[in-house]
Structure formats: C-alpha cells, structure tokens
Amino acid sequence: MIFASVYLMDNPMRFQSRLICLITLPGLLFAIPEANAAKKSGEAHEVSIGDTVDDLTFKDIRFLPRRLSEFGEHSAYVAVFVNSTCPIVQKYMPKLKRLHEEYDQVQFVAINVSEADSVRDMAAHALKYDMPFPFVKDIDGQCVQALGVQRTPEVVILDADHKLRYRGRIDDQYRLGGNTPRVTSDDLKHALDAVLAGVEVSQAETPVDGCRITLPTPVEPDMSLTWESDIVPIMEKRCAACHQPDTEAPFALLKYEDVAANAEMIAETVAEERMPPWYASPEDEGFVNDRSMTEDEKRTILQWVSAGAPAGDESVAIVPAESREGKKWEIGEPDRIITALEEHKLPAEGYVDYQYSILPYVFEQDTWVQKVEILPDNPRVVHHCNLLMFKPTEGIRSAQFITGKVPGSGALTLENGIAIHIPRGSAFALQIHYTTTGQKEKCRISLGLGHARETVKKSFRHILVNDNEFEIPPGHGHYPVTEKITLDVDSTGIGLFTHMHVRGKDMTYYATYPDGKREKLLTVPNYSFDWQMGYEWPAAQKKFPAGTTFEVDAHFDNSAFNPYNPDPTDTVVEGQQTYHEMMYGFYFYTQDDENLNLTIDPQTGHVVNETESREQP
C-alpha cells in the first residue's frame, strides 16, 4: 500500500453512535416506520401550524446522530427538505444561499430525505453548490413526519420556541412544468420577516410544486443467504485486510462467530457507507485502492443480517489476502531497523500534544528503499505518526515528509522500479500524535526499511500544495482556503493524499493543463480526521505535462455545530497541534525524464554502479 488511512479510536462516539430507530441503505431499511403509510398516501398533515415541534434527530456529514437543539438558540430556524436529484431543489440552491447570508440571526439547515443519497452523496451535493449551512440526513423519515412535509424543496420555519410558523414553498418562480421570469410571491422571505417581527404569518401554508418524498422501505430478509457462500467472499474482499487480530481495528472479522457477534454494527456501518471507509466523491472513479462495497454486496449483507445472520457451515473461515497472523512486520523482516531511544509515557485521559523523536541513525551513504514501515510497540495509542527526513547539519526545519503510519493502513511499499532516495548525511524524525485510552500507557516506535531489490529507475517524489497563512474566523462554518503550485516537469501521477485537522470539512484537487483545460482530480466532500486516506491511481496511467498547475480547494468548519471543534470562539491559524489547522494537499508522482538505472546492493541499499549507470534520455 502506498497511502495511509486513519482509524481513530479515542472517542467511543465515533464507533458506537447508533441510529435512533433504523438502519437504511438506498432502497433498504431495518424496521418499518408505522407512520409511513399515511404520508405515502398523501393524507393531510398531522402537524399543524402553531404546534411545538419536538427536538429533531438526524445525522450530520460525519455520520454522527445530532439534534436540532445542538444548533443553539436562534431567532428562527429554516429547514429545507432536499435530495440530490430533484430539479426544483437544484434551481433554488442559489436563492437559499443568499437568504442564509441575508438572515444571519436565522439557523438554516438542509435535510436530505432521499433513500438513494448516502451521507457522502449528501456532502458532495452541498459542496457542489458551495452551500455554507449544514446539510443533514433524515435517516428514518423522522424529520419528514415530525414537520409534516411531503415534497422537496418544501421548507418549514420554526420560531425561537420551536413552534411551527410556516410550511410550504420557497417562492412561486420554479415549477416542474416551467419557470416564471420573476418571483411574484416571495413566500419564505415574507414568512421569515413576519416571524422575526413577532407577528403572525399572513399565509402560513403554501402549496409546493416539487418532487414527492418517498419514505424508507423495509429490507426484506433473505433466508437463502448463507455464511460460507454469500458472506465470506464479501468479508474477504472488503473487510479482512484491516479486521485481523493485533491490528487497530476494534474487532477481528475472520470467523462466523466474530461477524455474527457484531452483525448489527456491521449492518449499520455498511448501510451508511461508513465501512469499508472510502471518502472520495461518488463521481470520482478509477482509484485502485477503493474498497467500498457494490450495491449488491451491501444488499447481501443487510438481507443476511435481517434474516438473523444464518450460519450455514460455521467452520468456513475468512482468509485475508495478506494475513498478519504471527507477523511482527507487515513488510517482512526489515533490512534495517531503527528504534527510538524514547519510550513515551502517556496519561490515562486528556489531550496529548504532538511528541517528536529523532531516530538514532545517520546514513553515511546514499540509500534506496522500497519498503517503509512505522511500528509502534503499542499501536492502539498511536493516532498517527509521520516520518520526516532531514539533514542534522541543517536542522529539523529542513525536514520533508516521507510517509505516515495511520491505523487501518498498510506500510508503504513501492515497485515498478520506483524507490525512495535517502541522501548521505540524512536522519529521520518521528512526529507522533498519541491518543489516551483510559489507563496509563507506554509506547516506543521503531522504523523498518526494506532496501530496493530491483533496478531503480525513478525516485518517489511529491509536491505539497498548502497554505500556512490562513485565519479562520470564529464561528465560520464554511471557510474557504485555496492554494496552487505549477510543476515544470512532465510527471506521472501516483496518487493524492489529503490532511487537515478536526475543523477540516472538504478538499478538492484540480489540474489545469498548459492548454487551459481544467480537470477535477478528486473531491473529498466529508473529510474525516479519523480516516485520512490516500487515493491511488493505476500504475503509469495518469500523465501530467510540464506546466500543469495543481490546485487544492478546502473548507473548514469552525462553527459550534462541528462536534469536534475545540473552540468555535477562536480565530484558528495554521499549526502543528490538533487544535490548530492544516491545509495539506499532497501530489505523489515520478518524473518522466528520469531514468536512473541504478543497481542496488540489497544488503546495504547502496548503489553499486552509480558512476556508469546513471542515464538521462
């Protein structure tokens, strides 16, 4: 594996958050909402104007269950019901954005109600229209029923006391049959003005010409599905690489009893597309390390769990493609092991500042490696660990990033004649983010290197597209940061890696070619500090001519609604600690005109034919 991904285990909410009532997948659902029939048949609203609406429950872009009350106190609340396909919804996005900017004392929220939209789809939809207010997911139809809505983009206004004051359309301009040149009845705006003025809304309900909302439907159990024939192949392909003993995964998934004991949790995470983890926008295809399930695979898992997880032949075990059983090092026994002198002692609770270790070794000769593994002796306390290379004579500020250790990922391995060059006189440092576990812990980290064992043709390279001068204002929920770099050599892309801290919301990569063509390379619409994944292209397929400009656009959520925000009253700047922020977009590549043709001694990693074999075309 070339890139890393992060599986954070320090916050139980991130693993144990459960749906309030249901588990859904596009077209699938556990448990049948009793009130669905009335809503589907088009019967009258059960919630009347003037009723007080109980606290609404939904999921945010981070897959966490949230409540309307978590927005805090506001003069009014506007909820607009949306999906990613209704044409009327899309047409009203610009107006909703303007209204949000105009009424800064009002809390706007978009509630996605489509069975076909995952949380990731919802986040990508919001980013596509650059929407500055939160998008949340009505997983079980509770919000639809609680507010009595029937169509998208129907809106409701609740006053400061959560009383329903308006329900209906945004205005009368856009209809399914066509548009009018201008707005003649600005219903939402007029209703908002009345609510904020403390007077009755003159027209508290208006008809909505939009797309009918379909509430979730129950998953049908399939008793014909068996463990050995239907579930084992999926688990081997999608889950077993991480869920093995002695890894950072919270439990192993190699035997029937393992899977059956965690069946409901597996179903929930599969239904929400939380697992297997993959954060690229659904439209971004072609990355070779995409482990996300197909619709058929998800349906099979959910129908099997709904049927009670029938065993069949329980003796059939899952066989991972690469088993870690009995192995200390994923890369095999390293050619060189460097162990930190420090054993860090960690408290039982609280936040631990980044720790640094200078590894006790200086390379006396140029060395080439194709395998790099960072190995903690206590992996469950390491959130992530970055490996930095620097010249001691130049100081740590000269350090450059090599790779990282993050739970759930593999070691860095290179092939096809690509290797990492460690120049003579270099040393390594570790930047370690520890997490507490509820008891005092210790940890010491070792570095394992595997020397190149094939002719080295190209160096493993990267550029970092980053901004370190931003200031995120207090309370800003959608703060943009953009940076770009032009590469003046022909290059072949290996992949992309994104890094922000806990206020990070999304990141998008673009390439602008010398002829002016602009291509989107990747969107991560709901960035997760838990899973900082790399996105790897097929070998030698992604080409970029000299003069290509790589641009990275990111947004940060410094609002109080961000559940991981250390302090929404702070102005946030770039910094190393998690309560600071970073905007790092990595582009990994090889240089096309490089043809090193180096023969390496596998015992030492040193070049054995340097003077006669360096060839440039």
Q: What secondary structure letter does DSSP report for 71?
A: G
Residue 20 tokens, joined: 């309030």
Listing DSSP states for 220-255 in one string gives PP-TT--IIIIIHHHHHHHTTTTSSTTSSSSS--SS
What CA–CA distance (Å, rounded) separates 108 from 100?
A: 6
- pLDDT of 578 reads 84
Give the pair of three-digit tokens for residue 115.
């069975």
CATH fit for domain 336-457, picks 3.50.50.60, 3.40.50.261, 1.20.1440.230, 2.60.120.310: 2.60.120.310
Are 580 and 501 contacting, i.e. CB atoms less than 8 angstroms apart? yes
Sign of CA dihedral 98, 99, 102, 108: negative
Note whether 287 and 2 are within 8 A (CB). no
Domain ranges of the chain: 1-16+221-324, 32-212, 336-457, 461-591
The helix or strand, by DSSP H or E, that contains position 99, with its residue range, turns out to be: helix 87-102
Q: Could you tell me which residues come within 8 angstroms of residue 154 by beta carbon, excluding any fewer than 6 positions away?
A: 80, 81, 167, 168, 169, 208, 210
CA 232 – CA 291 distance, rounded (Å)? 16
Same CATH topology for 32-212 and 461-591? no
**Residue whose pair of structure tokens reads 């006189």 in the numeric block:** 425
Provide the token pair at 178. 């066509």
Q: Do residues 527 and 279 lie in contact, with contact meaning Cβ atoms separated by under 8 Å?
A: yes
Q: What is the largest CA-CA distance in the chain?
A: 88
Cα distance between the two ends of the chain: 30
Check: CB of residue 422 under 8 Å from CB of residue 379: no
**Residues in the chain with pLDDT values less than 70:** 1-45, 324-326, 407-409, 610-617
- Rounded to whole angstroms, the Cα distance separating 20 from 216 reads 14
* Model pLDDT for residues 71-83, shown as the tens digit of each residue: 999 999 999 999 9
Look at the block and give the residue holding tokens 């309030």: 20
With beta carbons less than 8 A apart as the criterion, state whether 387 and 404 touch.
yes
566-573 contact pairs (CB < 8 A, 24+): 566/502, 568/474, 568/475, 569/474, 569/475, 570/474, 571/471, 571/472, 571/473, 571/474, 572/471, 572/472, 572/503, 573/470, 573/471, 573/472
β 135-137/106-112 pair status: parallel
Enter the tokens of residue 386: 């970055």
- SS3 state at 128: helix
- Show the tokens assigned to 118: 């995952």
Cα separation, 33 vs 141, whole angstroms: 8
- Contact by Cβ (8 Å): 106, 158: no
pLDDT at 87: 96
pLDDT at 562: 97
Q: Give Cβ neighbours of residue 34 (< 8 Å, ≥ 6 apart).
A: none
**pLDDT at residue 37, rounded to an integer:** 39
Q: What is the pLDDT of residue 363?
A: 97
Closest CA to 227 of 258, 189, 265: 258
Instruction: Specify the pTM.
Output: 0.87
Checking 167-173 for CB contacts under 8 A at 24+ apart, the result is: 167/45, 167/49, 167/204, 167/205, 167/206, 168/203, 168/205, 168/206, 168/207, 168/208, 169/206, 169/207, 169/208, 169/209, 169/210, 170/80, 170/92, 170/95, 170/96, 171/95
**CATH of segment(s) 461-591:** 2.60.120.230
β-strand partners of 493: 542, 589
Its CATH architecture, for the domain 32-212, is: 3-Layer(aba) Sandwich (3.40)
pLDDT of residue 408: 56
DSSP string across 34-64: TTHHHHHTTPPPSS-TTPBPPPPEEE-TTS-
Full DSSP string of 473-524: PTT-SSEEEEEEEEE-S-EEEEEEEEE--TTEEEEEEEEE-TTS-EEEEEEE
Q: β-pairing, 178-179 with 174-175?
A: antiparallel
Q: Encoding tokens for residue 127?
A: 């980013």
Tokens linked to 370 = 């194709």
